[in-house]
Amino acid sequence: MRSFSVSLGLAVTTVILPLSLLFAGVDTNFHNAPDSAQQMKNPYDGQPSAIAAGKHLYARNCGSCHGANAGGAGNVPSLIDGRLETAKPGEVFWFITKGDKENGMPSWAQLPAKQRWQLVSYVKSLGLPQNASAASALPEDTGGSTIKAPAPTAPFTDFRYEKPGAVRKITVNDLPQPYATHSADNGPEVVARPENAWPKTLPGFKVELFATGLENPRTLRTAPNGDIFLTESDAGRIRVFRGMTAEDKPELSAVFATGLKHPYGLAFYPPGPNPEWLYVGSTAELVRFPYHNGDLKATGSAQHIADLPDTGGHWTRAVAFSQDGKKLFVAVGSASNVDDPDTHPGEKDRADILACDPANCTLSVYAYGIRNAGGGIAVDPKTGELWCSVNERDALGDNLVPDYITHVQEGGFYGWPWWYTGGHQDPRHAGKHPELKDKAIVPDVLLQPHNASLEFTFYDGAQFPAEYQGDIFASEHGSWNRSVRAGYEVIRIPRHQTGDASGEYEDFVTGFVLPDGKVWGRPVGITTAPDGSLLVSDDGSNSIWRVSFAGK
């Protein structure tokens, strides 16, 4: 049983008491703040740069609970109704620093004092009446898009409003009714990248081209020795990159293996610094190649390990090993959008995560009702927990059903095809399997519907700021079943150094869609390079992008 929420938008605790604590009004001084706190002066008071910095901190950490417009939702209060006006800046700073653990507000003394004061500057500015109308307005920056469709209703969005640093959180209570909008057929028109088009990311980060001229680049995996492996699925090929030049290009590129039938998933075995095999998940089978650190070409032919269900539909097969090497996980997506396995034999052992003993691989169901996790599964290197990235079903409208990223419970049921996002019945299966309603698990992080979430990685590099440690970075391939596109980006899921996700995610790399809606890039694979940068494969431009941090 997991319980959590974001308090002050900055940490995971056990009850939903975020900035609402600031408005409790239970004492004369603000939360019994000492008189000395009242006398503290904000050294950045009135500075637009401090408010702007605080706004960025708010967007990244607080907006998931209080809303991007600070209007609040449910039991989370509005920050734009003036109730912060009576609190002294020093009292708010004191409360952020000290916290109130019993009531769910952690101490944030470990944050630099400057950042705490910047947050104070921003939240205090929200109490001013003149800010209320601006904060509650719909977003105005559409990135110069020529698409004239109405703005989406929060928390849902589309590519026009995707912007690095924007924080989003979708909850079960936000879901519309099925068929609230028509089901769209809006597949991407992929075009060559214009010279002036380039991925966008946060200040302090930069995006560069790492490799070009690839053929359908998909999964990326970093080998224990630091080499980067890539599946080129349409070409039936596995490629390996080694090193990095002064121009941030690979020093060497080699073909490790050819002749495969739509290879996708990659995993080294046994886990640890000295693997002996490279396992490859292809559409119809699981194979392995002998591998030792430094091999640029397979030293033996592929060995067949297991047959995999292949009855059409989703063809990607992500693979991963448990930390102890005793379980091999294989994700197999459904053969359809919503066919009932009770009446469609082609769905047998589909929409599941399967598992076996690597020494004697007889596959069995580990978790089920997962429409398509074939794009990405991974084991958290710190907790040993299995996570997955899922493409949910289509044809229920623009804002159903949310894709998701979640930890995976052994034996867990995640709804497909009869239920979704917990106990919501798919109307196309009305009345079926009522006994499963209460078993359907609500995922940890709900993403924009139809995002097509694919590979993800747990950041364990040393290059990004410390706050990114353990966070999830995920590739969103992009929608086809939405009237206005969504996805086509890389997102960050903050986990606040706890190992848990509190439901929010952040736009991290955007800009793959042109203002007229045409698409030039589609993120697929993602991995942490040895130097701590992120590498992102893109099967729209047939490239690999490198995201590095150069800021303070």
Q: Where are the beta strands (DSSP E) in 191-344?
A: 205-211, 217-222, 228-232, 237-242, 252-257, 263-269, 277-282, 285-290, 303-307, 319-321, 328-332
With contact defined as beta carbons under 8 Å apart, do 461 and 499 qualify? Answer: no
What pLDDT is stored for residue 101 in this prediction? 66
Distance CA 303, CA 307 (A): 12
The answer to whether the CB of 334 falls within 8 A of the CB of 319 is no
- State the DSSP string of 82-98: STTTTS-HHHHHHHHHH
pLDDT value at residue 15: 37
Beta bridge partners of 74: none
Contact 438, 423 (CB under 8 A): yes
The pLDDT tens digits of the residues spanning 315-338 come to 999 999 999 999 999 999 999 999
Q: CA angle 397-402-403, nearest 5°?
A: 125
The single residue listed with the structure tokens 């206005």 is 484
Calpha distance 432→490 (Å, rounded) = 37
Number of H helices, E strands in the chain: 6, 29
Instruction: Evaluate the omega torsion of the peptide bond into residue 270 and state whether it is cis, within 30 degrees of 0.
Output: yes
pTM for this model (two decimals): 0.78
Mean pLDDT of the residues in the chain: 88
Write the CB contacts of 78 (distance below 8 Å, at least 6 apart in sequence): 66, 70, 71, 72
Residues 335, 371: Cα–Cα separation, whole Å: 9
Which amino acid, residue 452? A
Closest CA to 469 of 531, 536, 382: 382
Domain residue ranges in the chain: 5-135, 205-549
Contact 213, 203 (CB under 8 A): no
User: For the structural domain made of 205-549, what CATH number should be given?
Assistant: 2.120.10.30
| Length of the chain, in residues | 552
pLDDT of residue 22: 47
CA distance to 234, 253, 288, 327, per residue, from 256 (Å): 15, 9, 12, 25
327 phi, psi to nearest 5 deg? -130, 135
What's the angle, vertex CA 460, arms to CA 105 and CA 197, rounded to 5? Answer: 100
**Domain spanning 5-135 has what CATH number?**
1.10.760.10
Which amino acid is present at 150? P
DSSP-based three-state secondary structure for 180: coil
Select from 443, 423, 417 the least CA-distant residue to 502. 443
Q: What is the pLDDT of residue 61?
A: 64
Query: How far is residue 348's CA from residue 510's CA, in Å, rounded to a whole number?
Result: 37
d(CA 220, CA 239) in angstroms, rounded, equals 10
Please state, in angstroms and rounded to a whole number, the distance separating the CA atoms of residues 108 and 343.
Answer: 54
Secondary structure (3-state) at 47: coil
CA neighbor of 496 nearest in space, from 93, 128, 64, 90: 64
Mean pLDDT by 10 residues, the chain (552 residues): 38 40 51 81 79 73 60 53 73 84 75 85 68 38 81 96 97 97 96 97 97 98 98 98 96 98 98 98 98 98 97 97 98 98 96 96 98 98 97 98 98 98 98 98 98 98 96 98 98 94 97 97 98 98 97 78
Query: Which pair of tokens denotes residue 322?
Result: 């448990």
User: How much is the pLDDT for 28?
Assistant: 57
The predicted pLDDT at position 70 comes to: 65
Whose tokens are 């560069």? That residue is 208
State how far the Cα of 183 lies from the Cα of 180, in Å rounded to an integer. Answer: 9
Residues ≥6 apart with Cβ < 8 Å to 290: 276, 277, 298, 299, 300
